[in-house]
Amino acid sequence: MTKKNFNDEENESLLETYNKQQQKQSISTTNRSDQKFGINNANKQFSLNNKKSINGEEIDEEELIEDTIFFKFKLDSKQRNSIKLFIQIVSLVILAGYLISINALYFSTNARSIIFYPSINSNTTDSGSVSPTSTPSPTPTPTPSPTSLLLQTLTSTTTSYDSSEIEALNGGTFNMKYFFYFSTFDILLISYFISLFWLLLIFSDSFIYHTISYIITIIALIYNVIKSYFTITQILSINNNIITTSSSSNEIYNGSDSYLPNESPLFDSLKVREIIIVIVLVGIPLMVLFLVLHIITLQLSFKKYKRLSDKEKQFYNQSNEEKRLNKKVEVKHSNLKRLIQLSRPELPIILAAMVALVFSSLTSLAMPYFFGSIVQVVATTHSFNNLNSSTLALVVIFVIGSISTLVRSWLFYLAGQKFVARIRRNLFSSIVNQEIGYFDQCRTGELLSRLSSDSQVIQNSVTVNISMLFRYTIQIIGSVILLFITNWRLTLLMLGIVPVLAISTVVYGKKIKQLGKQFQDELAKSSTTGEEVISNIRTVRSFSKEQKFIDLYSKDINGSYLIGKSLAVATGVFSGIVFLVAQLAIVLIVYVGARQVLDGTLSTGDLTSFLLYTLSLAMSLAFISSLMTDFLKAIGSSDRIFEIFDRVPAINVSGGKQIQNPLGEIELKDVEFSYPTRPNNSVLKGLNLKLSKGTITALVGPSGGGKSTVIAMIERFYDPNSGSITFDGIDIKELDPVWYRGIIGYVSQEPVLFAGSIKDNITFGNDSATMDQIISAAEKANAHSFIEEFENGYDTIVGERGVRLSGGQKQRVAIARAMIQNPMILLLDEATSALDAESEYLVKQAIDEIMKDRTVIVIAHRLSTVINANTVVVINQGKIEEMGTHKELLNNTDGIYHNLVKRQLSSDD
């Protein structure tokens, strides 16, 4: 079989088809190994060396494709959601059907006398009825099976019976109305509790939504187990009641004009086992199926990938390299999940805190029980002994709870501090490891805001708040369990508020998260304005622009204030809804519970305990709602932080080749370059330049021509858009940046000193330098003499950015800093342009000294700086216009260099 050849037209068609499929399905490539550490490469560009890990194997991104049934059948997002919804509806129907069956079985056990004693105490003797005093038949009729029991219960409507006799035997009668009410309530409960959440989950891959959905699913299954348990205990209770009630008589009516011996219970042990087995064998598989369907639905929201085969590579080949390089990758991951993953080093401390938290929560759950016991003692027994024992138990519980709370708070706060400190270290590391082009696009104040404000928001959430969240979660679960034990009917009534709270959390949660991120963005803007003004206060003062920047800062603050107002409204409405629903639920429970107390079906102590548990549950829900707003704010802040974590530097910080015996030759070949902030404006246009070992090359030309850009390219602050830069014949992209920059000394036009001592600034180029080396470097830079004049000498503090030194002094310290690393290549970017004549003379002497036996590239406008250069290169508008010695270029009267020298000589005159 011959392989099919694709021409260019077919390739373009296939490319268009493939891109449409990607757009429809929002394919997101996810680095599995990065997920493990909470790091993924969001919004990064495809590149030839991008790798993805599948089963531990690194694979190029272009060899991967989504491996899901949705992709194979080319289903769009609407079709996917329809399939998910169908699966959810099926699982909901299964669960609802099971609950209705349980209700029917539960109430049918209350109707046992209807089936087995259809005409007890009836005075008629026809139609198969007999008097209770009649002689029983010696032949018993077989007991109906559970299935016939249920069918007869639901279909029997013609038989009359004595309610007092029936209630004496079984404690109640079957009531179709109650069966309908309970079944309807179950359906509504499950619908609110699960379906509405799932409908939201269809359109979201958020980790928090999935977590909540799993929790609700488990609660629903627990509810099923509770209903099944009550049904089984009801059957056992009925069986025992019949035996006990009939013990005063020697015979029991069997439903066929005869009586059964009293040793034959209505549901014998075999029948009881049958019913229980039916519940277990039917209920557990249905609940497992329900859970499996739910898990499948969630898993369908995620993508997985496989390696492309050769045939698939051919089909999905993208011939247009530019499109492939410019294609952005959309990655959606929950930052909350990533924050949790990043907290793994603190896991031992968190586990210890969790133990203390469990004890603290259990003591809180025990208090309502003992309070109820005290009320019951006061209302009934009036026993001082019982009152004293219950009070003493409360005191012990309070002491244990206080100690547990102390340990819990301490450990959680300690874990949170360690976690946030690591977040800040990693964030700072991510920032400083970015390429220079990144800082061209970002403002300093915004980055500082992410380091301070955003990390502070996260710190508050993962310290105190996370411990409170766990505590209230345990209290909610414990309260619900104890409420079911105390009075399950009132508990079901109370749980009707949960769907309302859940929907409020989802609706307002999204809004609060969005507003929280916008709020932090506005704060970053104001921080940027403040940082710029304070850093340049002399310029601001010299132009009397204080009020202008005050107004600008006020405008930025007003923006954050307006968003803060909206955030306050959203938070207030959310808290108000939670409080209102909780209080209305309490009022309803008090009313229904009071009626049960008056009816004698509930004791005063149990009602007191129930109300206290309800208040505990309501308070826990209210606190969690408040904590959720803080967590959502933290997630909004983490969005901004993880943007930095996820960003892969365009230039690696370290790693690569190291040349053992370098010569120091540099060559630029056909270099094209434009700055990231001005991508359409080419700064270098096909530039070619070779720098030989031990030579001095001077770059001159009009401002904006590209001279400083050449220096930046050699330093590898940027990579060229096209072309190459080689060092000793090796592309500098292949070299270790740390090693490469270690052999380069760089002195910028505006030297920057750090807020430390002179000694610290000089040793910045060599941390292991001795004092003799420091002094030697300072002497070569012509800086030793003025340093010695200071009272503290080399320990003199220079101030922020070296403000305590003059321009010439700062420049000489910067030269000493470059010299102490003994560089092979020296880059001087107009090092004397901003100095007065005396400072220029001293700095020039220092430069002449350090240029010996080194490859030097110097940029200068002054003739005195370049006159001794081996080669003078004239750069204009990104191209080399002229190249030669000073004399050669000066003889070209029509050249740019000749005119530059002529104008400078005229200005000096």
The confidence score (pLDDT) of residue 600 equals: 76
Q: How many CA atoms lie within 13 A of 429 on its CB side?
A: 10
Residue 212 pLDDT class (50, 70, 90 cuts): low
702 labelled ligand-binding:
yes
Residue 774 has pLDDT above 80, yes or no: yes
Cα(509)–Cα(503) distance, integer angstroms: 9
CB of 904 closer than 8 Å to CB of 864: no
Are 474 and 510 found together in one domain? Answer: yes
Q: CA end-to-end span of the chain, whole Å? A: 85
* Domain assignment present for 849: no
- Do 614 and 498 contact (CB within 8 A), yes or no? no
Distance of CA 7 to the CA centre of its chain: 45
Domain that holds residue 135: 77-299
In a domain, 805, yes or no: no
Distances in Å between the Cα of 147 and the Cα atoms of 143, 306, 451 are 11, 51, 68
Tokens matching residue 158:
């013609």
Give how far Cα 64 sits from Cα of 60, 320, 330, 339, Å: 7, 18, 15, 28
**pLDDT at residue 456, rounded to an integer:** 67
Q: Are residues 325 and 413 in the same domain?
A: no
Same domain as 680, residue 545? no
Which amino acid is present at 69? Answer: I
Does 225 score more than 60 pLDDT? yes
Contact 131, 258 (CB under 8 A): no
Question: CA-CA distance, 276 to 232, in Å (whole number)?
Answer: 6
Whether residues 224 and 348 share a domain: the answer is no
Residues 692 and 737 in one domain: yes
Identify whether residues 150 and 238 lie together within a single domain. Answer: yes
What is the per-residue pLDDT for 98? 62
- Integer-rounded Cα Rg, in Å, for the chain is 41
609 and 708 belong to one structural domain: no
Per the rule left: phi > 0, alpha: psi between -120 and 50, beta: everything else, 382 is left
Is residue 688 situated within a structural domain? yes
Residues 1 and 43 in one domain: yes
- Determine the pLDDT at residue 246: 46
Instruction: Answer yes or no: is pLDDT of 328 > 60.
Output: no
Q: Is residue 768 part of a domain?
A: no
Q: How many helices (H) and strands (E) does the chain have?
A: 35, 16
The Cβ of residue 736 has, within 10 Å, a number of other Cβ atoms equal to 16
> Could you say which of 612, 646, 680 is where a domain stops?
646
Please list the residues that pair with 856 across neighbouring strands.
696, 826
CA angle 78, 81, 85 (to 5 degrees): 140
pLDDT of residue 726: 92
CA angle 488, 493, 498 (to 5 degrees): 110
Read off the pLDDT of residues 293-310 as tens digits, 9 standing for 90 and up.
666 655 555 444 444 444
Alpha helices (H) in 110-206, listed in sequence order: 112-116, 146-155, 163-170, 176-190, 196-201
402 labeled part of a ligand binding site:
no
Scanning 157-245, the segments in alpha helix (DSSP H) are 163-170, 176-190, 196-201, 207-245
The CATH code of the domain that includes 660 is 3.40.50.300
Q: Does the annotation flag 38 for ligand binding?
A: no
Residue 256 and residue 318 share a domain: no
- 812-830 pLDDT, tens digit per residue, is 888 888 888 888 888 888 7
255 is in an annotated binding site: no
Helix ranges (H only) for 647-731 are 707-714
DSSP 772-786: HHHHHHHHHTT-HHH
For residue 362, the domain's CATH number is 1.20.1560.10
Domain endpoint, select from 646, 667, 701? 646
User: Whose CA is closest to 691, among 664, 669, 671?
Assistant: 664
- The length of the chain is 909
Phi, psi of 702 (to 5 degrees): -60, 155
* Residue 281 confidence (pLDDT): 57
User: What is the pLDDT averaged over residues 564-578?
Assistant: 76
Choose one of 646, 677, 706: the last residue of a domain. Answer: 646
Helix (H, G, I), strand (E, B) or coil at 858: strand
704 labelled ligand-binding: yes
Residues pairing with 826 in the sheet? 745, 856
Domain contains 505: yes
Are 390 and 496 contained in the same domain? Answer: yes
Does 456 map to a domain?
yes
As for how many domains the chain has, the answer is 4
Continuous segment of H or E residues that includes residue 859: strand 855-859
DSSP-assigned letter for residue 804: T
Q: Per-residue pLDDT averaged across 658-684, rounded?
A: 86
**Residue 806 within any structural domain of the chain:** no
Q: Give me the residues paired with residue 880 across strands.
A: 875
Residue of higher predicted confidence among 670 and 393: 670
State whether 56 and 83 are in the same domain.
no
**Do 660 and 636 fall within a single domain?**
no
In a domain? residue 634: yes
**Dihedral sign computed on CA atoms, order 875, 881, 883, 885:** negative
Q: How many CB atoms lie within 10 A of CB 679?
A: 9
Write out pLDDT tens, residues 446-498.
777 777 767 767 766 666 677 777 778 777 877 777 777 777 777 777 776 66
Residue 706 marked ligand-binding: yes
- pTM value? 0.52
